[in-house]
């Protein structure tokens, strides 16, 4: 009984330490549960992604949704292409190739024609030119994630442009047309396709979220242990 009273007295005397420890223990626990919630959300996205990818491609329309497989008939504009900078593939630095594709007279969308390696220097841009007539392309629609932009996303003023962003709403500023807010990723083996990068609905997987949750819970236990040890030493 006396020992319990002494411990309570020490807690009162160390209000700052107690408040700090309790606050961060609660925060760490909440962050752990938030990561578990994110993992569950990502699992539902995987199911949605798999369902969309299993469907046969349909003609693109206003109701086409993200990850949906579609086909489009129209024309590439190989004279005004964009290289998306700093794209890593199998440990190598390179670019994603965005090529404008025009269809239904006044519709435009950027087509992701795959990955290409960077030249020996930053000024040595890869040759991505090609000639194309009217054709049908097939692929999957994605909506690039919103990015934290720092300005000057378009690094060059001559074609092909080099861009730091994948966002069509930013890249389209270099064109006279309005583009779809989604990008079409060509199917592997498509005509004019460069190295294909596997399509994924997100970067951080559910497994990683569970790992982050474990880290937060572990940190809360460690902090609780350190707090109890500090109180015990002073009692």
**DSSP state letters, 120-157:** SSTT----------SEEEEEEEE-PPP----S--B--S
Whether 217 and 107 share a structural domain: no
Q: Would residue 61 count as lying in a domain?
A: no
Angstrom distance (rounded) from CA 103 to CA 212: 44
Q: Would residue 192 count as lying in a domain?
A: no
Q: Would residue 118 count as lying in a domain?
A: yes
Q: Are 65 and 127 in contact (CB under 8 A)?
A: no
How many structural domains are present in the chain?
A: 2
Please name the residues in contact with 205: beta carbons below 8 A apart, sequence gap of 6 or more: 42
Residue 76: pLDDT band with limits 50, 70, 90: very high
Q: Would residue 21 count as lying in a domain?
A: yes
pLDDT at residue 133 tops 70: yes
Whether 111 and 161 share a structural domain: yes
pLDDT per position as a tens digit, 186-203: 999 899 999 888 777 776
- The arithmetic mean of pLDDT across residues 216-230, rounded, is 85
Whether 79 and 180 share a structural domain: yes
What confidence score (pLDDT) does residue 5 get?
Answer: 43
Q: Would residue 223 count as lying in a domain?
A: yes
Q: Would residue 168 count as lying in a domain?
A: yes
Note the Cα 6 to chain centre separation in Å: 53
Q: Would residue 12 count as lying in a domain?
A: yes
Residue 152: pLDDT band with limits 50, 70, 90: low
Whether 227 and 177 share a structural domain: no
Whether 73 and 182 share a structural domain: yes
pLDDT per position as a tens digit, 154-174: 667 788 999 888 888 888 888
Whether 157 and 216 share a structural domain: no
What confidence score (pLDDT) does residue 151 get?
Answer: 55
Q: Would residue 59 count as lying in a domain?
A: no
Whether 120 and 164 share a structural domain: yes
Beta bridge partners of 131: none
pLDDT per position as a tens digit, 88-97: 888 899 999 9
Q: 117 or 132: whose pLDDT is higher?
A: 117
Whether 18 and 93 share a structural domain: no
- The arithmetic mean of pLDDT across residues 14-42, rounded, is 85
Q: Domain range for residue 25?
A: 2-45+206-234
Angstrom distance (rounded) from CA 97 to CA 115: 6
pLDDT at residue 31 tops 60: yes
Whether 133 and 79 share a structural domain: yes
């Amino acid at each position: 009984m006396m020992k319990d009273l002494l411990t309570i007295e020490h807690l009162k005397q160390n209000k700052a330490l107690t408040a700090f420890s309790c606050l961060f223990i609660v925060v760490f626990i909440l962050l752990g549960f938030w990561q578990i919630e994110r993992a569950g959300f990502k699992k539902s996205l995987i199911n949605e992604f798999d369902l969309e990818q299993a469907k046969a491609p349909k003609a693109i329309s206003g109701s086409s949704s993200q990850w949906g497989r579609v086909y489009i008939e129209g024309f590439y504009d190989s004279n005004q292409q964009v290289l998306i900078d700093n794209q890593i593939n199998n440990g190598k630095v390179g670019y994603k190739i965005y090529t404008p594709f025009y269809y239904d007279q006044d519709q435009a969308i950027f087509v992701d024609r795959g990955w290409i390696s960077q030249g020996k220097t930053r000024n040595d841009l890869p040759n991505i030119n090609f000639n194309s007539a009217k054709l049908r392309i097939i692929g999957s629609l994605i909506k690039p994630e919103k990015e934290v932009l720092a300005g000057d996303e378009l690094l060059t003023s001559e074609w092909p442009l080099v861009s730091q962003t994948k966002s069509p709403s930013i890249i389209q500023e270099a064109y006279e047309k309005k583009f779809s807010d989604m990008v079409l990723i060509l199917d592997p083996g498509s005509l004019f396709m460069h190295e294909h990068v596997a399509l994924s609905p997100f970067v951080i997987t559910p497994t990683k979220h569970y790992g982050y949750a474990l880290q937060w819970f572990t940190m809360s236990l460690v902090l609780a242990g350190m707090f109890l040890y500090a109180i015990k030493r002073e009692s």
